[in-house]
Amino acid sequence: MAGAAALRRSARRIARHVAAAPSLSRNPLQQPERLLSSQSSPEHGPRGAVSGSELALYPPERVRNFSIIAHVDHGKSTLADRLLELTGTIQKGHGQPQYLDKLQVERERGITVKAQTATMFYRHTTASLDSDAPRYLLNLIDTPGHVDFSYEVSRSLAACQGALLVVDAAQGVQAQTIANFYLAFESNLSIIPVINKIDQPTADPDNVKDQLKRLFDIDPSEALLTSAKTGKGLEQVLPAVIERIPSPPGKCDSPVRMLLLDSYYDEYKGVICHVAVVDGALRKGDKIASASTGRAYEVLDVGIMHPELTPTGVLYTGQVGYVISGMRSTKEARIGDTLHQAKSTVEPLPGFKPAKHMVFSGLYPADGSDFEALSHAIEKLTCNDASVSVTKETSNALGMGFRCGFLGLLHMDVFHQRLEQEYGAQVISTIPTVPYIFEYGDGSKVQVENPAALASNPGKRVVACWEPTVIATIIIPSEYVGPVIMLCSERRGEQLEYTFIDAQRALLKYRLPLKEIIVDFYNELKGITSGYATFDYEDSEYQQSDLVKMDILLNGQPVDAMATIVHNQKAQRVGRELVEKLKKFIERQMFEITIQAAIGSKVIARETLSAMRKNVLAKCYGGDITRKKKLLEKQKEGKKRMKRVGSVDIPQEAFHELLKVSNSK
What lies within 8 Å, CB to CB, of 32 at 6+ separation is: 92, 231
Nearest to 375 by CA among 386, 391, 387: 391
Find out whether 190 is annotated in a ligand binding site. Answer: no
Find out whether 196 is annotated in a ligand binding site. Answer: yes
CATH 3.30.70.240 fits 435-544, yes or no: yes
Burial class (CB in 10 A: 0-12, 13-18, 19+), 458: exposed
Find out whether 71 is annotated in a ligand binding site. Answer: yes
| C-beta of residue 304 within 8 angstroms of C-beta of residue 313 | no
d(CA 97, CA 77): 8
Find out whether 386 is annotated in a ligand binding site. Answer: no
Find out whether 188 is annotated in a ligand binding site. Answer: no
| C-beta of residue 66 within 8 angstroms of C-beta of residue 245 | yes
pLDDT at residue 658, rounded to an integer? 61
Residue range 70-95, pLDDT digits in tens: 887 788 888 888 888 888 888 776 65
Q: Any idea which architecture 357-429 has in CATH?
A: 2-Layer Sandwich (3.30)
Nearest to 473 by CA among 520, 503, 505, 502: 505
d(CA 423, CA 419): 5
Find out whether 76 is annotated in a ligand binding site. Answer: yes
Find out whether 301 is annotated in a ligand binding site. Answer: no
Residues of the chain with pLDDT under 50: 1-2, 4, 7, 10-11, 13-48, 127-129, 643-646, 662-665
Whether residue 220 has a cis bond before it, omega within 30° of 0: no
3-class state of residue 529 by DSSP: coil
pLDDT at residue 7, rounded to an integer? 42
pLDDT at residue 465, rounded to an integer? 92
Nearest to 352 by CA among 149, 71, 159: 159
Find out whether 199 is annotated in a ligand binding site. Answer: yes
- Show the beta-strand stretches assigned E in 23-143: 63-70, 116-123, 135-142
The CATH number assigned to the domain with range 50-242 reads 3.40.50.300
| C-beta of residue 275 within 8 angstroms of C-beta of residue 322 | yes
CATH 3.30.70.240 residue ranges of the chain are 435-544
CATH 3.30.70.870 residue ranges of the chain are 357-429
* Long-range contacts at 483-487 (CB < 8 A, ≥ 24 apart): 483/528, 483/529, 484/508, 484/525, 484/528, 484/529, 484/533, 487/521, 487/524, 487/525, 487/528
CATH 3.30.70.2570 residue ranges of the chain are 546-658
b/e burial code for range 137-156 (CB count within 10 A of at least 16 → b): bbbbbbbbbbbbbbbbbbbb
- Beta bridge mates, 507: 475, 499
CATH 3.40.50.300 residue ranges of the chain are 50-242
d(CA 427, CA 656): 11
The CATH number assigned to the domain with range 546-658 reads 3.30.70.2570
CATH 2.40.30.10 residue ranges of the chain are 255-339
pLDDT at residue 520, rounded to an integer? 76
pTM of the model: 0.73
d(CA 326, CA 233): 45
- One-letter amino acid of 323: V
b/e burial code for range 498-529 (CB count within 10 A of at least 16 → b): eeebeeebbbbbbbbbbbbbbbbbbebbeeeb
Pick the CATH number of 255-339 from 2.40.30.10, 3.40.50.300, 1.10.10.10, 3.30.70.2190: 2.40.30.10
- Show the beta-strand stretches assigned E in 99-181: 116-123, 135-142, 162-168
User: How far is C-alpha 7 from the geometric centre of its chain's CA atoms?
Assistant: 63
Find out whether 144 is annotated in a ligand binding site. Answer: yes
d(CA 463, CA 446): 12
| C-beta of residue 328 within 8 angstroms of C-beta of residue 271 | yes
Burial class (CB in 10 A: 0-12, 13-18, 19+), 124: middle
pLDDT at residue 621, rounded to an integer? 67
